[in-house]
Structure formats: C-alpha cells, structure tokens
Structure 1
Amino acid sequence: MWLLNTASLALELVQNPDDCTYAVLSHTWERGEVTFQEIADLEQAREKPGFSKIKRTCELAQERGINYAWVDTCCIDKSSSAELTEAINSMFRWYKDSANSRGDKISLQLWLSEITGIDPEVLRNSDVLPTVSVARRMSWAAMRVTSRLEDRVYCLFGIFDVYLTLIYGEGLNAFIRLQEAIAQDNNDLSLLAWTSSRNEQEHRGVFARSPIEFKRCGSVQRIKDPAVKRTEFSMTNKGFHIRAALNRSEGDFLMSLQCVDSSIQQAEGADGIIAIRVIRTAHGYVRRGSDRLVIVSRSNLQLGNPVPVDIPKDISLAESRLIKIGLAHRFVFELENKSSFGCAITKWPYHLWDPDTNSFLTDGYENFTGLLKIDITGSKDNPRPKKSPISYRASSPIPSAQEGNVSDTETILNTRKDYGVRLGPILSQARHFSTYVVVFGLEAPEQTRTSGDIPEWKPLKPWAAIYGKAHQMLFSQLESEECRHGFPHGLNQIRDLLRVRSSGRVLPKTLSFNPTWHRRWRNDPFVDESQIQLSLSAGIMEHSLMGMFRLVLTVHTKN
C-alpha cells in the first residue's frame, strides 16, 4: 500500500499497513487533482489545484503525531488495474475503520435518506439490503454524479455485493457488465424495470445504459407471494435468456417482471404487476417502447405456457433501425378455405414462423425464400368431419400453439419428430388426400439510375407460386431434403430450381383438380365431378402494423 510521508510528502510503499497508523482524506474530487505519477515531482505537483488539500492533510496528521497519510488521488497507481481494483474494493473498509468519526449512518440517517433516497431501515441495518429489489437499489444511484463515467458503476459494487475488474475507458459498457454480474447472481427480474428518458430509439436491449434509467424505480418491490415461482434466467452468447409466459398485447408481447410498484394501486385494490413490452424478431426478442413500463392488474394477466425468450444485452441505434425494417418486411399469411375439404399447412423455415401474427419473419433479406406444404383432405360421405373430440396419436409431446404448430379441432393430429404437422379427417366411406406446395419470397427490384447517376433503390418485391405433383423436380427436391434433414434445408436450391428471378415467365398462381376418392375397404378410386381450385395472391399491404407483405391462399369448390 502506498502512503504519503507526512513530513516529506514523498510516497512510501508500506508492506503491512495494518501495523501503522495513517490518516485518510475524505473529499470530493475536482479538476486538477494530483496523480500518482505527478506526486513524485513535488515542484510540478505544487502547481496543481489539488495539491493544497494533500499538503493540509499531511499538516493535520503531523499535528496529531501521525506519520503517514493516504489520499486516493495520488496514492493509487491507476496505470495498474490490479492495484486499482484492490484499492477500490478495500476503500469502504478503510473509511469504516476510521478512528475519528464525523458521523455514522445511525446519527445521520435522516439526512442521508433525504439526499440518497436510501431507506432509513437499510441505513440502520445493512443486513436487510439483499431484501430490497435490485431496481430500487439502482434508483439510489440514479442522480449520482462522478467525474469519471465508470465510477458511477464502480461505486455500486458494495450494495450489490459484486466485484469486477476496473477498466477505465470502457464507458457505458461498465454498467452493462455490472448488470450481467447481478443477473448471474440474483434472479430478481426488477433488474429489467428501467425506463429510458425519451423514446429516441424504438427498440432496445434488455439492460439499461445508465443508473439514471432507474430513477422511477424508488417504489418497486418484488412480489412477496410465495406461490409465485421465481423465474430462472441466465446470460448466454445470445444475451439474456429466460423461459417466460408472454401475453399478447397491441402487436407485441407483455413480459411480467414479477414485481410491483407500491405507489400504484389498481381500481380493485390489487398491486399492479410491472411488465415490459417485447417483440419477436428473426433472431429472438427485443424490448419495445422502453420509455415506459406497463402496469397490469393480476386479474388481467393471462399466464400461458412459458416459451424461450432471448434478448440481446444492448442494441445500437443503427441496429434498431435495421430491426424496424426487418419487421416491416414480414410476410403475413392468410388461408381462406371456402371448400368442404380440410387443409393442413406445414411451414418452412419453421423457426421464422410467428404464430401470434400469422407471419414469416424475413428480416428484410432480399433472397428470403419460404415454403408452405398444403395437405388437402376430405371424405366422400362426410367431406368435413363433424366437430367431435380429438384423438391424438403422437410419438412425442405435441408442441404448444405458441411454439408454432397448428391444432385443428376437426382433425386427427399426427406429429413427426420435426414437428411438421399432418392433419387427416375422421374417415367415413371414401377419402381424398393430395399435396401442394407454395413457394414464396422476396427479391430486389432492378436498380435504376437518376439524372445524377446515383443508384435509386426501391423496396423489395414479393413473389409467390403454387405447384402440384406434376412439378416432379420440385417434389423430388423436397422429398430428398425431407429424408435427409426432416425439413427442406435447401430452400435456396428450390429457389434456383424455380428460376424465379431469371426466367421472366409468369409464375403459376392457380391450380385446379378433381378429387380422386378412395373407398375405405376397396382400392377402387373414382373421380368426383366437382372441382377444387387453389388461388394464390401476394401483394403489399398499406399502413399495416403486422407487416408489409400479404400472402393469401384461397381454396374453394367449383361445381
């Protein structure tokens, strides 16, 4: 430990500081402080404004017969991260062990509570600190000002019982690291109850960027009801990972933080549960509308099945704009079945299908390609089965609707390992089964030149086509991919196979067929006189919150 000799004002390295008496200066930093390197040259150090407090400290120590003094500005070699970390982590203990106290938390609790916002109960007994919500503890530091941005974070180590390597120059990343450390050691979701000062960025990550974003959290408390199971979460290379029950709301989702704002009472007298808005993207979820929290009464909070939610730690303004563009390029799918036949649809890429908005998340990728496999089924004497209880036959648990599979209350459901869904009717005397494929995607329009020879870019264009078994090459490709991988990994090969962008031909938008019926007990097919027609349309939607593109498949009977 480096100490100042109060007689010579020279630094001395003391190996066992506990064996000697030294004075410690408690002060507020200002401009022109004397550093560790500068104190070695006293002539240079005397020119700085901060030298006067060092000199006066040593004089007072000499008057009391104390041979050493410690001043944080010049007794810490800040070029050594190890020494800096050790000093800051020990500083609280050094001040606490002071022999001459000007006051303590008990005698000054009213002033301290008024200035800092810290509960008097915590000032009287620091053992209760872990019972205070993370958000509320953060609010105590919301208005704190330090000369170094990182010090606003490092001064919080004690109240959260975390210790990190000090990295001066990392800026806002220091606060992100602190929140990561808290998340790894505490399952208090109030950590996410921050709000931005203004909604300058539509989409944000899961963590706040500064303690000031917790300034409205002075009344946040964790739910005390032991029946409410505390949710486990963790940090991964995708960011913040949690399995949470999401509630659909106004085009996005509400995620409960399992905490309440004690200053807000709902009309029925129940505490309002705090939730944040999140929206699904092609790569997970992001926070939306970070300038406000949502207060939901317990009676209005509908808890569904938990789903995996991954939210990045932070999102830049540029990334937020790209997310907005990607969400606008969603493909909304609609099925209009006007026939007496049942339709089962399997969707690929499965992980990009959002069942809550009935849309594909394209991420604005100009070569995006999607595929719908349509199984049309019906029975002759009872073409659309009556609404009756479903009997399930599955070799593995049936995924929830929130995970992307469709369950039809009029059909028998068989689930394969890849969770593609095939639906077949309850059979009567004769049945029909046929399969069709819709391939769709985006493409960039041709680049044009303006008068200034600057390329003018236009929005992406949607395209779509429908094919039957007659397109043998397409179905062979599908069957090959399905056998090897369980679903078509080769969507780009299928796109190239159809030569959508280069052929210049009109893509097929309609298909018609006469149902071929097979009796249940006799293998003697016969053709119905009625005709089934499938019509496909793809276009751009105006002023829609759900997405820019609309894909409609219509199935109807023509007699």
Structure 2
Amino acid sequence: MRLINARTLKLGLFPDPVDEPYAILSHTWADDEVSFQDMQDLSFARTKKGFTKIEATCRMAIQNGLQYVWVDTCCIDKTSSAELSEAINSMFSWYKNAVVCFAFLSDFTSGGQRIVLDDLRKCRWFKRGWTLQELIAPKNLLFLDEEWNPIGTKEDLAQDIENITGIDHWVLNGYVLLRAIPLAKRMSWVAGRQTTRIEDHAYCLMGIFDVNMPMIYGEGSKAFIRLQEEILKNTTDLSLFAWEARANTGFRGILAESPAEFLQFGTVSLNYDQFCFRDEISMTNKGVKIVTRLQYIGAGTYVMDLHCYRKDGGGDPKRIGIFLRRTLDTYLRYLPHLTAPGEIVPGTPLKPIFLASTADELLKRSMVDERPSRRIWFEFPKDTLPCRVHNIKAVPETYWDANEKFFSTHDFSRFRCFLRFSVTSPISPLNSKQGTSSEDTRHIILVCDYLSASRLHISLYTEASLQNSPKPEEFIDPFDSIEQYGPLGDPFSLSILCPRADEDRIIDILHPDQRYNYGVSASITMPEFDLFRITVKVHHQTQLPQNPHYAFSHGTGKPGGESKEDPGEARPDIQYRNLGQGSKK
C-alpha cells in the first residue's frame, strides 16, 4: 500500500496491513487528476488541477494529527493491472482501517448555513458507484464542502444520508454487520448509482459483499454475473434472486444483469425463524444448484419461494417468490419483470434443481413448455374402483414434465423413454366373517421408441414377464433398480427394452380374487404432426379371454391354448434384441 507523507508530499510503500495511522480521501474524479507517474515529479504534479485536492487532504490530515494520507488517483500505479486489481480488491478494508475519511463534496456550497437536504441530495458524490463503499466502510467519516469546510460527520448526518441513499442509519453508524443485511437490500443501495465503466458496477461492490475476484475490463455486464456467482459461494440468502427486469423479456437466467434491477427491493427482510432457508447452494456447469420446493401453478409455470419479504404500499410484509419454467433439466426465470407471491405449500417435497445463471438463445429455444409439438403426452385413468393407477415414474427424467405428463422429444431424430406405474386393486373376503379386504398391486412399464415425426412404437411389459426373461449383466431392471437410470436414461438398457414392430399394447392380469381380473391397454393418437398422445386404460373383466394362469401380452406370438409352460410361472413375453433370441414364445 502506498501512502503520501502529508508534510513532504512524497510517496512511500508500506506493507499491508499498514501499522501507521493514516487519513483517506473520498471524492469524485474530475479532469486533470494527478496520477502515480505524475507524483514522481512534484513540480510537474503541482501544475495539474487535481493537485489541490492532494494538498488539502494532507493539510486536513496534519490538523488531525496524522502524518500519512491515501488518495486513489495517485497512490495506485494504474499501468500495472496486477497492482490495480490488488488495490480494488483491498480498497474496502483500506477505507475501513483509516483513522478518518475525508469526503470532499466538490459541488456542495454550505456557506456556513444549515444543511439543506435537497442541496445535499444533488451532490455527485451520492450518485457514484465507488463512493458507496467509501460511505459505509469508514468508522469516522467527515464531509467537507467545496471550500474544504466541515459540514458534519456521517453520524451527524445519518438521517439525511438515509433519506438520500435508502441506507438505514443504523447501518451507517455501524450498529449491524453488513453480512446480516439481505443481499437484495445491499444491491438496492447501488441501484441508482453510476460508474464510468460498466464493469465497475460489479467491482465497486466487492467490499460490500466481502468477495474477491479478478478484474477483466472488457467483459461488460458479465462482471456483474461473476460477482453474483462469487457471492453465492458463501451464502444461503435467496434474496439475491429478488430482482425485477425493467422490461418483460420472456425468459432470463436466475441472476440479475445490473444492480438497477434491485431498485425496488430496499425494504427486503429475511425469514429468520427456525424454517429459514439453510440448504446448500452451489455453482455448477449447469447453473445454480439448489435444494428447494417448487409450487406448480399450471401452464408449465412454477413458483419458487425466496424465503424473504418486501413491504407493500401499506407497509405490510409480503413474501417474495419468482416464476420459473423448465428447459431440459434446468429452470429459467419466467416473466422476469415480475415477482410472485411466495409461499410454502404443505406437502411439496424438497428436491434438487438447477437454475440457469443466464439465458442464451439456444437455451431459450429448448424450452420444453413453450412448444406444443414434439411431445409424447400420456393420459391415465382417474382413480376409480376397483383399480387405481399411481406411482408413475419416468425415464429419462430430464425430458419429463411430471405435472403435465409428457416427454419432450426436442429436435432428436431418435428418442427412447418409458414410464413405470402401478395398478392397485382390492381383494375382498368371501364373506363378512373373514375379515377386511386387502389390496393387490402390479407394476407395469410402458416403453416408447420415437422413430420419426410420424412413427412411434410402444409396448407394455409386466414385472413378472420382464424378470423371468434372460437379462444381460449390464441391463438395469426398471422394476428393481429404476433409480440407477441417469437423468438422460441408460442407452444400453433403453435399447434392449425398446419395442420393435411386434408391439404389445394390451396385457391381461389374472387377479388373486378373480372377480377383479383386469386388462391394461395403451393406444396412440396424433392430434397434430409430431405430437403423440398415448392413452392408458384399465379394463375390469371377470373372465380373461386367454390362458388364465398368466399375466401375458397380446401381440405377436401370444400364447395359445396349447401352451406347455409351467402354469406356476409367468411367461417371458419380452425379447432382448441384442441376445440373438428368436420370436417370443
């Protein structure tokens, strides 16, 4: 850290942290400032307009019994990118550790009269991004007018400064730690401030959020995205997602593009009861990973609660949420110019989700909820006696919409998937003296093979038929080990399950209580090009039309009356295309 000797005006290099007490200057830059190179020749430096500020700062320091001062214009060698980066990353602590900070308001005239709030509000110092940390960090801050006359301390003017900046006076006076203040509230402090370079919107906030990161001038608004990603590494405060875009752009990433989008969130408060959000947040190559609850509100839209509140027009706290929509296995911010009423819906499960940091055009084009075509829809019967269908699980989960019950096939030329579901039916006692009724549950999979925009093969398999068929070692059994399928499925297992031309669209179930025998069927319709609708039905039937000993399929090679199979075993009704077997028995 370089300091100016207040008496000799010469620069000296000191190890950081500095043991020598020093004063520090906060000001807005003007034309003809003095640089580090200029200070190597004091006779030349004196010819520049900015030198008067250096002299005045040194004079004020001596009056306060200090020998050293720091001024940002000339104490940093800005030709060295490494030194500039180190200085900006350290600046908040430099202002915090100063004995006194002199805030020079070059466009404020006091004339020894009472401070007028409107005049103070007009000062450029309150509109610049870099002066925000220079307002908050110092313990002892003295304001000076254009003639270097004292106006008052930060403590004296705390209420006026709160009215101008929106920063609570108890924050200005250091009564609360910065890290205890909601992220959105801190962002709102800089929402109306300007910087010369767009990247400085992020760099001037590093101290406010206690993060460090390299500076890359030329990256534009990406700097603010990087800042938020760094903040997320050390927080569970979801108010960072509480922002509103200035226009409805349809879809955005979860991170704001500018501090200006936090302008309306200066009254945010966090949920600090025992149910406050404390789950892990992490940055991944797919975006922000978070374990949370989503409320489905229809039309492919979800609401994510942010565990924070904002005061409405009447001063009442209203819980904040945001709208989301899925794209592949990540979520995008939907209607980013709005926030949603937040709430925790009883019974909604916690689950890990990925929130895209930003939304490029390719990601927007993959929105699964925006395209009515290129889908495989499923319709299941409602729960009606004697059978009910439940416990539906999908593979691959990435392309499945559990609320609307469809797979999105996107632009894939080939797509394989399956649903596993259960059918439960009652078992009644023969007479009322034999006790209460029980239930029988069978598990079934429905496999789909999308071949083209007009061709889709499907097959139904029972658990018994699949498990009694020969299986290669690498095959993942969808009945026993469905959790082993990855988010995109398992290509080998899906290829083996995949039906060929001999589709089985009906299976008959022999029930332990033969009064409740039933059949399960699946049929396909095409409401429009590249859109398939599969309807699953359960048919109650007192007598099975075929061999009553088995749960079997109707299709090529279905068993006839002369079957020689052991009636105590289920018939293998699936063939594995990679095993070289012949047709089904």
Q: Same fold (TM over 0.5)?
A: yes
Q: CA deviation at 1:368?
A: 2.2
In structure 2, distance between residues paired with 1:512 and 1:461: 22
Question: 2:4, 2:10 within 8 Å by CA — same for their partners in 1?
Answer: yes
Q: CA deviation at 1:58?
A: 3.5
- 449, 467, 476: which one pairs with 1:482? 476
Alignment of 1:104-119 (within 5 A): 104-119=153-168
The alpha-carbon distance between structure 1 residues 293 and 96, as it changes in their structure 2 partners (threshold 3 A), is farther
In structure 2, distance between residues paired with 1:553 and 1:113: 64
Q: CA deviation at 1:173?
A: 3.8
Match of 2:91 in 1: 88
Question: 2:25, 2:71 within 8 Å by CA — same for their partners in 1?
Answer: yes
- 198, 212, 218: which one pairs with 2:266? 218
- Residues 32-90 of structure 1 show CA distances to partners (whole Å, capped at 9, x for unaligned) of 6554456557899899xxx4212553477479979876431232124224642465134
Q: What is the one-letter code of the residue matched to 2:377? A: V
The alpha-carbon distance between structure 1 residues 517 and 293, as it changes in their structure 2 partners (threshold 3 A), is closer
In structure 1, distance between residues paired with 2:17 and 2:506: 92
Match of 1:73 in 2: 73
In structure 2, distance between residues paired with 1:72 and 1:116: 23
In structure 2, distance between residues paired with 1:67 and 1:380: 94
Question: 1:85, 1:166 within 8 Å by CA — same for their partners in 2?
Answer: no
Structure 2 residue 447 is matched with structure 1 residue 464:
no
- 317, 320, 334: which one pairs with 1:274? 320
Question: 1:540, 1:550 within 8 Å by CA — same for their partners in 2?
Answer: yes
In structure 2, distance between residues paired with 1:516 and 1:89: 73
Question: 1:255, 1:277 within 8 Å by CA — same for their partners in 2?
Answer: yes
Q: CA deviation at 1:468?
A: 6.2
Alignment of 1:238-387 (within 5 A): 238-251=286-299, 252-264=301-313, 271-296=317-342, 301-312=344-355, 314-324=357-367, 328=371, 329-336=374-381, 347-350=394-397, 352-362=399-409, 364-372=411-419
Gaps of 5+ in 2: 103-140, 145-151, 430-434, 546-585
In structure 2, distance between residues paired with 1:253 and 1:263: 23
In structure 1, distance between residues paired with 2:282 and 2:375: 29
The alpha-carbon distance between structure 1 residues 260 and 377, as it changes in their structure 2 partners (threshold 3 A), is closer
In structure 2, distance between residues paired with 1:381 and 1:18: 86
Q: CA deviation at 1:440?
A: 3.2
Match of 1:231 in 2: 278
The alpha-carbon distance between structure 1 residues 465 and 107, as it changes in their structure 2 partners (threshold 3 A), is same
Q: What is the one-letter code of the residue matched to 1:356? A: N
Question: 1:342, 1:376 within 8 Å by CA — same for their partners in 2?
Answer: yes
In structure 1, distance between residues paired with 2:269 and 2:59: 50
Question: 1:261, 1:271 within 8 Å by CA — same for their partners in 2?
Answer: yes
Q: CA deviation at 1:367?
A: 2.5
Q: What is the one-letter code of the residue matched to 1:174? A: A
In structure 1, distance between residues paired with 2:303 and 2:214: 36
Structure 2 residue 244 is matched with structure 1 residue 203:
no
The alpha-carbon distance between structure 1 residues 9 and 286, as it changes in their structure 2 partners (threshold 3 A), is same
The alpha-carbon distance between structure 1 residues 378 and 306, as it changes in their structure 2 partners (threshold 3 A), is closer
Q: What is the one-letter code of the residue matched to 1:331? A: I
Structure 2 residue 100 is matched with structure 1 residue 54:
no
In structure 2, distance between residues paired with 1:250 and 1:96: 58
Question: 2:416, 2:448 within 8 Å by CA — same for their partners in 1?
Answer: yes
Higher RCO (CA < 8 A, seq sep 6+): 1
In structure 2, distance between residues paired with 1:60 and 1:371: 74
Question: 1:509, 1:536 within 8 Å by CA — same for their partners in 2?
Answer: no
Structure 2 residue 236 is matched with structure 1 residue 187:
yes
The alpha-carbon distance between structure 1 residues 490 and 6, as it changes in their structure 2 partners (threshold 3 A), is closer
In structure 2, distance between residues paired with 1:56 and 1:172: 33
In structure 1, distance between residues paired with 2:196 and 2:49: 19
Question: 1:206, 1:311 within 8 Å by CA — same for their partners in 2?
Answer: no
Match of 2:105 in 1: none
In structure 2, distance between residues paired with 1:42 and 1:483: 82
The alpha-carbon distance between structure 1 residues 553 and 541, as it changes in their structure 2 partners (threshold 3 A), is farther
The alpha-carbon distance between structure 1 residues 126 and 29, as it changes in their structure 2 partners (threshold 3 A), is farther
In structure 2, distance between residues paired with 1:236 and 1:246: 19
In structure 2, distance between residues paired with 1:15 and 1:239: 39
Question: 1:154, 1:166 within 8 Å by CA — same for their partners in 2?
Answer: no
Structure 2 residue 526 is matched with structure 1 residue 539:
yes
Q: CA deviation at 1:98?
A: 4.3
- Scaled by the length of structure 1, what TM-score is found? 0.67
Q: CA deviation at 1:146?
A: 1.4
Q: CA deviation at 1:350?
A: 4.5
The alpha-carbon distance between structure 1 residues 327 and 536, as it changes in their structure 2 partners (threshold 3 A), is same
Q: CA deviation at 1:259?
A: 1.7
The alpha-carbon distance between structure 1 residues 440 and 7, as it changes in their structure 2 partners (threshold 3 A), is same
Paired residues, number: 472
Q: CA deviation at 1:509?
A: 6.7
Match of 2:448 in 1: 439
Match of 1:419 in 2: none
Question: 1:341, 1:376 within 8 Å by CA — same for their partners in 2?
Answer: yes
Structure 2 residue 535 is matched with structure 1 residue 552:
yes
The alpha-carbon distance between structure 1 residues 8 and 467, as it changes in their structure 2 partners (threshold 3 A), is same
Question: How well do the aligned residues superpose, as a CA RMSD in angstroms?
Answer: 4.8
Gaps of 5+ in 1: 383-387, 392-410, 413-422, 425-433, 444-459, 501-506, 521-525
Structure 2 residue 90 is matched with structure 1 residue 97:
no
Q: What is the one-letter code of the residue matched to 1:2? A: R
In structure 1, distance between residues paired with 2:509 and 2:352: 45
